[in-house]
């Protein structure tokens, strides 16, 4: 089932894309849990980990691995949470499989489930964060 992520992937609505290839698109989460919070999303709208083919899930994780290093270096993060919510009971709100890359700077800065930080950043701030990640991609 198409969700808002399909609209982003099809460029019907804007997002700050940091990476894309034939299978995967990665873009800044609109609600930046921490500086550089990024979503890695397969183009095909599999709902969750229970639906996605293993080979595609492996590619999503490969891209996440590359991006994790770039995001860490772009913002001098100290660590990173990699998280995937699968099913409503697990806190999933967009039913198109994705990985969250959440760089960490401070033990106290984050609590799960993530709170909504939408509206805290200007469009220029999102653009600059995405630019820094793209520039750090190997
Ligand atoms: P989930 O709750 O399903 O694990 O994560 C969905 C994520 O998608 C949330 O962190 C939410 O902030 C993000 N999100 C929802 N709508 C949009 C949108 O229109 N654009 C972007 N960039 N992120 C979105």
Domains of the chain are 4-108 (3.30.428.10)
- Closest Cα partner for 70 from 9, 3, 131? 131
Give the up-direction half-sphere exposure of residue 129: CA atoms within 13 A in the CB hemisphere.
Answer: 23
On average, the pLDDT of the chain sits at 96
* Residues in contact with ligand 1 (CB, 6 Å cut-off): 4, 15, 27-31, 85, 91-94
pLDDT at 1: 76
What is the Cα–Cα distance from 58 to 86, expressed in whole angstroms? 16
| Average pLDDT of the residues in 33-55 | 98
Tell me the percentage of the chain whose pLDDT exceeds 70. Answer: 100
pTM: predicted TM-score of the whole model, two decimal places: 0.97
pLDDT at 12: 97
| Average pLDDT of the residues in 43-57 | 98
Whether 83 shows a pLDDT value over 90: the answer reads yes
- The best mutation among 19, 28, 31 to test binding of ligand 1, ranked by most ligand atoms within 8 Å of the C-beta, falls on 31
Q: Can you list the positions of beta strands (E) in the chain? A: 17-20, 24-28, 38-42, 79-83, 99-104
- Positive or negative, the CA dihedral 84, 86, 92, 93 is positive
């Amino acid at each position: 089932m198409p969700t808002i992520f399909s609209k982003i992937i099809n460029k019907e609505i804007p997002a700050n894309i940091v990476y894309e290839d034939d299978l995967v698109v990665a873009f800044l989460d609109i609600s930046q849990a921490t500086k550089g919070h990024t979503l890695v999303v397969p183009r095909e709208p599999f709902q969750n980990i229970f639906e996605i083919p293993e080979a595609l899930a492996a590619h999503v994780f490969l891209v996440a691995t590359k991006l994790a290093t770039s995001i860490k270096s772009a913002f001098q993060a100290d660590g990173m949470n990699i998280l995937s919510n699968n099913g409503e009971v697990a806190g999933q709100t967009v039913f198109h499989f994705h990985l969250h890359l959440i760089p960490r700077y401070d033990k106290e800065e984050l609590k799960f489930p993530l709170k909504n930080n939408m509206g805290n950043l200007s469009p220029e701030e999102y653009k600059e964060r995405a630019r820094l990640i793209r520039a750090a991609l190997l």
